[in-house]
Structures are given as structure tokens and as C-alpha cells.
Structure 1
Amino acid sequence: MITSTGEARAGTAQPASVQLPGIVLGVGMGGFVDGILLHQLLRWHHMLSSTNHDHIGLKYYNPKTVSGLEMNTMWDGIFHAVCWIAVLTGLAILYSRVTHNRRAVWTSRVLWGWMFVGWGLFNLVEGLLDHQALGIHHVHGGPDQAWWDAGFLVLGGLLLIGGYLLQRSGQPFDPNAAARRTGSRPA
């Protein structure tokens, strides 16, 4: 029987990729860095802190008033819940794909590279959507906010490119390789 190269490849078992779980983990972790560092520790912005100048007509919740801070804090909490769900989802996907030698995955450039790609994607999407398109908040509001927002986008691009290059420099990981070497089946 003659098969094409594509058909032959389709019949071979490919190792489960860490690309998707790495990206999802990176999105969640990038969101946590943003929320914890910029929203909570530095208090540069909250989820709705620029709605007095937004592009969609949301009610303004001044974060310098108690009621405004309560609303902004609630939306920061919703944001953190979404980040938490992303991290849990990424871990679940990773756990389902990696059955052996999990330590090698956590120390691999491939997983960490994809996580940086995910963090970069988070910055780019969040920066373009929330800072630019919706205008609901900015990295650091004020007269120089355009520079802060641009820096956030540049950081996102650098994380995406750096992560992609990092994962390419790593060894592809086959989570079932240990099982095949020992003759056992994956759990």
C-alpha cells in the first residue's frame, strides 16, 4: 500500500505537545503579575480606573473614593479569578499530557518558552484591548500614560519573541519516552 507523507505521519504517534498548556499557563501567570504588581502593590491602576476617559461609555468609578475603590477591587477580583482559572486549566492540560518524567518538563526550555509566549500574548491582548480599544485603564495613568502603555506592549512583544526563541532552543519533550524505554505503558 502506498501512502503519502501526510498519511504516514498521521499514523505515527506524536508526543503530546507542551505548547498549549505552556501558553495557557503563561497567560494566567502574566495576568497575575499584572494584577498583583500593577493593581495591588504599585496601585497604578485598577480594572475600571480610567472609565472617565474610556471609549465605550462605562460609568466612572473613581478609585480614590470608597465606593469607586470597592467597584474597582471587585473587578480586579474577577480579573484574578480568570487568571486563576487559566493557571488551573494550563496545569490540567499539562498534567493530562505529561505522564512520565514531569520534572524534566518543568525544567525544560520548551515549557518555559511557551509560558513566556503566553505572558507576551496576555500583555499584547490586554494592552491593545483594555488600554487602547476600550480605554478602561492604563498602565500608569497621567500625562505620560501613552508611553507606559507603549512600554507594556513592547514588553509583551519581547516576551513573545524571547519565549518563542527560548522554546526553539530546547529539546523537544516526549512525555512517554521513559515509558517506551522501560517497556511500560503510560499511566
Structure 2
Amino acid sequence: MSLRLPGIVLGVGLGGFVDGILLHQVLQWHHMLSSTNTDNIGVRYYNPHTVSGLEMNTVWDGLFHTVCWLAVLIGLATLYARVTHRRLRVWTSRVLWGWILVGWGLFNLVEGIVDHHLLGVHHVLAGPHQLWWDLGFLVLGAVLIAAGYLLQRSGRPFDPVTDPGGVSARHGNT
């Protein structure tokens, strides 16, 4: 019973929500189509500083959040199926949280490479230093992947029947 797939899928969805809620809504640094005036694929520009442009960007932000929500639902369903399938092997939470961080980092790398660099439809913070913000987003993704991988490696399974408190798991014994 591996927590890799549900953790990564949950991490992709949760990482997308952090991006969408923090960068799109709270800080309003960018929206899904906020840089299409300089994109690499010829998408029509919807100026986020006009009502009609903000409306279209909000629709695309909503579609983005829908994909994030579906990723979280799929991750939860996969996690539930794996946890209930073999109940005698329980993993410490480090494994799940590690894989969630890996998924978040993968989200940053894929979204950053595709949307910021290849398509150019938006940037973390558009302006004279946007390349540095975009590269920082990729570095954060790589750090999250590395930290998550190391964190999940430190988790151990235990049998709740023979070790109900998870003592051997907390002390590294399996």
C-alpha cells in the first residue's frame, strides 16, 4: 500500500490552490491570462485592469481552481481506497505529508515551466524582474520536491494490532 500517488495528487491540487488563492486572489499578482499580451502562443489579451478583462481572467482562474479541486478529490478518493484496503499496515503521517510536498513541488515545476516560460500566459509577478520571480517559483518547486522526498523516506509503517501506539514507527524500528 503506497501513499505516493494519493500524496502527489493531493499535493498538486493543494499546491494549485495555494497558487490560485495567494497569487491570483489575495496578492493579485497575476491571473491565468494576465500576460497574454506577451505570450508565446497568441492567446487574446484580456487586460486584468479592466472589468471585462478581469471577468475573463476570473473565469479562467475558476477553471484552474476546478482542476485543483478535482485533483484534491481524486487524491482523497485514492487515499481512502488505499487506507481502507489494507488496514493492518498504517503509515506515519510523514509519508503522506512528504508525498504531498512532492506533488506541490511538481505543480510548481510544471505550471512554472508551461505557463510562465513556454506559453508565457502569466508570470508570478509581471514587470522588469519577472524572470527572477518565475525562476524563484521553479526553485521553490525543486526545494519542495527534495524536502518532500526526504520527509517521506523518514516515515515507517507499523501494525496497529501489534504496535497500537506506533512506538516502533516513532523510533525507526520496523
Q: Is the 8 A contact 2:102 2:146 kept in 1?
A: yes
**Residue identity opposite 2:77 in structure 1:** A
TM-score using structure 2 length: 0.88
The residue aligned with 1:22 is 7
Please give the residue correspondences for 1:1-187 in structure 2 after superposition, counting only pairs within 5 Å: 16-99=1-84, 100=87, 105=91, 108-171=93-156, 173=157, 177-178=159-160
The residue aligned with 2:168 is none
CA shift for structure 1 position 181: 8.4
Q: Mark the CA change 1:56 to 1:144 in structure 2 (over 3 Å): closer, same or farther.
A: same
**Residue identity opposite 1:30 in structure 2:** G
**Residue identity opposite 1:56 in structure 2:** I
CA shift for structure 1 position 169: 1.2
RMSD: 1.9
CA shift for structure 1 position 179: 6.7
**Residue identity opposite 1:82 in structure 2:** V
CA shift for structure 1 position 180: 8.6
Q: Is the 8 A contact 2:88 2:161 kept in 1?
A: no
**Residue identity opposite 2:70 in structure 1:** I
The residue aligned with 2:170 is none
Distance across 2 between alignment mates of 1:77 and 1:62: 17
Gaps of 5+ in 2: 165-174
The residue aligned with 1:12 is none
* Equivalent pairs, count: 162
Q: Mark the CA change 1:101 to 1:25 in structure 2 (over 3 Å): closer, same or farther.
A: farther
**Residue identity opposite 1:33 in structure 2:** V
Structure 1 moving runs of 4+ over 4 Å: 179-182
CA shift for structure 1 position 178: 3.8
Q: Flag the structure with larger Rg.
A: 1
What is the SS of the residue equivalent to 2:31? coil
TM-score using structure 1 length: 0.82
Q: Mark the CA change 1:91 to 1:179 in structure 2 (over 3 Å): closer, same or farther.
A: farther
Distance across 1 between alignment mates of 2:150 and 2:23: 27
**Residue identity opposite 2:51 in structure 1:** V
CA shift for structure 1 position 88: 0.3
CA shift for structure 1 position 108: 1.2
